[in-house]
Amino acid sequence: MPAVAAQTWCDRCGEAAASGAHEQCAAARALEPPRYCARCRRRMKVQVLPIGWSAICVEHGEIRS
């Protein structure tokens, strides 16, 4: 899982990673898949499976756990 600090956008709340605090987002992400693409802020198509998840950004492709 990429570190939140290295991203342009918070992958949980979709706000700029550099503005504001995202500690709560980072903590919540332990039990949630990402929802926003950290590179372009698009909402991703996320599929949670019993084991693992996948998230697709139309621009930046798929990430998986």
From candidates 13, 15, 26, 60, binder to other proteins by CB under 8 A: 13
Rounded to 5 degrees, what angle do the CA atoms 12, 25, 45 make? 15
Site string for other proteins, 23-52 (x = CB under 8 A): -------xxxx-xx------xxxxxxxxxx
Nearer to other proteins, 3 or 51 (CB): 51
Q: CA–CA separation, 46 vs 33, rounded Å? A: 8
| Eight-class DSSP state of 28 | H
HSE of 64, CA atoms in CB hemisphere, 13 A: 3
Shortest distance (Å) from residue 53 CB to other proteins? 7
Provide the binding-site residues for other proteins, judged by CB under 8 A.
12-14, 30-33, 35-36, 43-53
